[in-house]
Chain A
Amino acid sequence: MKITLKTGGLFARFLPAGTSGKVAELEVPDGTTPLGVVRQIGAPADGRCLIVVNGKAVPPSQHDSHILNHGDNMSYMPPLKGG
């Protein structure tokens, strides 16, 4: 299935080669989770990162259990603190 992945901060470097900007369409296995996607692109799987699917935040405790669906929009933002 396919999902759209939007990254934040330094994580854009983990998107597939040739990606322009911070958004890429990815082919992922059926039944995968947000953390599965993070592992697939080789990015840090820090539990404090923010993951949003279709406009709603996924709690960190569900990063590896929330099942993604074909066509989902997922955002993956770094574990930043400060401001």
Chain B
Amino acid sequence: MAWANNVLRVNLTKGTCISEPLNMEWAEAYMGERGLGTKYLWENMDPQADPLGPDNVLIFATGPLTGTMAPTSGRYAVLCKGPLTGAIACSNSGGKFGAELKFAGYDLVLIEGRSESPVYLNIVDDKVELLAATDIWGTTVWHTEAWIKKTHNDPLIRVASCGEAGENLCRYACIVNDLHRAAGRSGVGAVMGSKNLKAISVRGTKGVTATHPEKFMDVVHECHRVLAESEGRKALTELGTNDMIDMMQEFGGLPTRNFDDVQFAGTDKINPSAMFEVKANGHRNMVTNKACFGCTIACGRIAHIDENHFSIVNKPEYRMASGGLEYETAYAFGPLLGVDDIDALTYAGYMTNEHGYDPISFGGTLAAAMELYEMGVITDADTDGVALNFGSAEALTIMSEKTGKGEGFGKILAMGSRLMCEKYGHPEIAMHVKGQEFAGYDSRVLQGMGLGYATSNRGACHLKHAVFDEDMEDISGNGKAEPCKTSQDHVAAMDSTGLCLFVEGAGMNIGHFVDLLSADLPTSWSQERMMETGERVWNLERRFNLAAGLTAADDTLPKRLLEVPAPSGSGKGKVSELAQMLPEYYKARGWTEDGRLTNELIERLGL
């Protein structure tokens, strides 16, 4: 079977690493990755614990399809209580780390406590040890990965680590694996840093075996065929996710200058065409695309910066190819800040990968700081002498480095937009849900997206629901509650498999997942079982948040989206219709009017 049947429990306070059998009852009910990780989190910690204290639990979870021959099977998730939100954090990543963890024989790694001194967890199949990280504490993600590979004399070791941002408890620090893939959101890297855990390095040689191997490979072959022929897959492969920027620009859903507008005049300078454009000096931003483990889509971008650009003209160490612009990075550093300098955006992307923090939340926080600066609330005296005007590529590059290293005003930006704007007495400027900043879709024209943002268990997030088709058909809030609820359950199930969500936009559907799981696992799966599993996962996440102290009042959007009409685009004149959608959503969920789970629901889902 494709569960490894093994959980590694690490107690950093005691310095112990103990393997225990996977709870199969929970595995059958919650599948893996996001779902199973949520169940283990719920059973192993107090939701009211301090997110940055030793009682928070940090879980690395693979899925039953992770490490198999199924397309995009490199995924793993990191779960904990999030320091950015105070809510459950669940952030997943691609690359090769997740598959390697599964090859070593682990479904989950559960980290408890806090080490007295910096350590890293080294896993080589059954040999597990906590090793001193003194030599790499205070260094970057990139240095840490190279150091560990060199120290163990093994270039195939896979590393997931927190950079200085995590060590410095940046509220949106991420955990980076394979240099530029990340469990990016909600501050999971700060939790890792708070535990004095610098990295997990893993080498696995056990492989993964499906329950019905021949049947499994037949389904894999069909999945590969579908992906090969899909127009969506072709677009992702050739242009990457940043092709979305043109789509959002045309639609009028592209948040610009901290949501002051929904369209940005500079998209032609930062879109995929600009990435491919050969400049007069022969430089082209785009170098090649890159795939994660087992992926035939390869949406990842590898880019480089023009060596004459101001950001690196005196920094030869950055004259190399590394992770390039994806849509959310391009949006958060581009339109959201009013910046149209593709090299500056690429440089800031390097900073987020090298130092380990979330580009979406950083962009959202810097956008709020720019608005505060233009309002005169903060001045050059606050910002280390840097003029934080919208459109300033210099401000972006300087602040991306300061935030990564925890220097000067970067320490303030590391608080996230909610805490930063509260500090300066203007909470209304912060654009967030539950403390987490928005992805690149405006809720005034994408109404279902707004409902999804408001009700997302980890704060504003575009990846926990899928109502894009409904939003394109109708820009009102009518009829969005039921598809939002259904798609949240759907995505929760997909996130629990170990595959990448992007396969659905690239041709695969839930039927392929059902066939893969039924061939992979000992028991049979159906669409109904998947959807019920997703519903179970969603409601357990909600239960965690309610126990942590969140309420229905947290299921909301900033006033700017509820009261200030969109100034242009398809939704010109519209505001979010959340007030209409939210009660309909609670009803669709079977929750009480104040957003709580009923005893009947808890019993039906076996929570």
* Residues of the A chain whose Cβ atoms lie less than 8 Å from the Cβ of B406: none
User: Are A55 and B440 within 8 A (Cβ)?
Assistant: no
- Whether the Cβ atoms of A75 and B250 lie closer than 8 Å is yes
> Chain A 30-74 against B: per-residue CB contact (8 Å), 1 yes, 0 no?
000000000000001010101010011101110000000000000
The docked-state distance in angstroms from the alpha carbon of A81 to that of B568 is 23
A55-B252 in contact given A80-B505, A81-B502, A83-B328 (Cβ < 8 Å) = yes
| Docked-complex contact A8 and B247, CB < 8 angstroms | yes
Question: CA–CA, A5 to B572, complex, Å?
Answer: 22
In the assembled complex, B170 has its CB within 8 A of some CB on chain A: no
Q: Contact: B250 with A59, CB < 8 Å?
A: no
Would A10 and B234 count as touching, CB distance under 8 A?
yes
- In the assembled complex, which residues on chain A have CB atoms less than 8 Å from the CB atom of B528? none
**Complex partner residue of B469 from A9, A10, A60, A75, CB under 8 angstroms:** A60
Is the beta-carbon distance between A9 and B472 smaller than 8 angstroms?
no
For residue B430, CB closer than 8 A to chain A, the reply is no
CB pair B502 A82 closer than 8 Å: yes
A61 to B235, CA, bound (A): 23
Contact call A52/B241, Cβ cutoff below 8 A: no
Report B19 CB to chain A, min CB distance, Å. Answer: 36
Known A61-B473, A83-B327; judge A52-B231 contact (CB<8 A): no
- Scoring B235, B252, B272, B570 by chain A CB atoms within 10 A of each residue's CB, the highest score goes to B235
Q: Does A77 interact with chain B (Cβ within 8 Å)?
A: yes
Q: Are A83 and B244 in contact (CB under 8 A)?
A: yes
- Specify the main secondary structure of chain A where it touches its partner: loop
Write out the residue numbers on chain B whose beta carbons fall within 8 Å of the beta carbon of A10.
231, 234-235, 238-239
CA distance A80 to B246 in the complex (A): 11
Q: Bound complex: CA of A31 vs CA of B539, how far in Å?
A: 50
CA distance in complex: A65, B37 (Å): 48
Query: What's the minimum C-beta distance from B462 to chain A, rounded to whole angstroms?
Result: 7
Secondary structure class of chain B's binding surface, majority of residues: helix
Distance between B503 CB and nearest chain A CB, rounded to angstroms? 10
How many angstroms from the CA of A59 to the CA of B374 in the assembled complex?
A: 38
* Contact in complex: A8, B250 (CB < 8 Å): yes
Question: Residue A79 contacts which of B232, B251, B439 (CB distance < 8 angstroms)?
Answer: B232
Contact with A along B451-474 (1 / 0, CB 8 A): 000000000001000101100111
Smallest CB separation, B449 vs chain A (Å) = 11
Which A residue's beta carbon lies closest to that of B568? Answer: A55
Is the Cβ of A57 less than 8 Å from the Cβ of B475? yes
Which residue of chain A has its CB nearest to the CB of B273? A22
Give, as a whole number of angstroms, the nearest-CB distance from A82 to chain B.
5
Q: How many A residues face the partner with a CB closer than 8 A?
A: 24
Residues of B418-434 at the interface with A, using a CB-CB cut-off of 8 Å, are none
Do A83 and B232 have beta carbons less than 8 Å apart? Answer: no
CA distance in complex: A36, B328 (Å): 33
At the interface, yes or no: B299 with Cβ under 8 Å from chain A?
yes
Cβ-based interface call for B504 (8 A): yes
Residues from chain B with Cβ under 8 Å of A83 in the complex: 241, 244, 326-328, 331, 439-440, 462
Closest residue of B by beta carbon distance from A7: B246
Known: A9-B272, A82-B241. A50 touches B247 (CB 8 A): yes
CB contacts (< 8 Å) of A52 on chain B: these are 250-251, 570
Q: What are 12 sample pairs from A and B whose C-beta atoms fall under 8 A apart?
A: A10-B234, A10-B239, A22-B273, A52-B570, A55-B252, A55-B569, A55-B572, A60-B472, A78-B232, A79-B231, A80-B244, A81-B505
Instruction: Show the binding face of B for A, using Cβ within 8 Å.
Output: 231-232, 234-236, 238-239, 241, 243-244, 246-247, 250-252, 272-273, 299, 326-328, 331, 439-440, 462, 466, 468-469, 472-475, 501-502, 504-505, 568-570, 572
Other 8 A-B pairs with CB < 8 A, given A78-B247, A80-B235: A9-B239, A57-B251, A79-B231, A80-B244, A81-B502, A82-B502, A83-B241, A83-B327
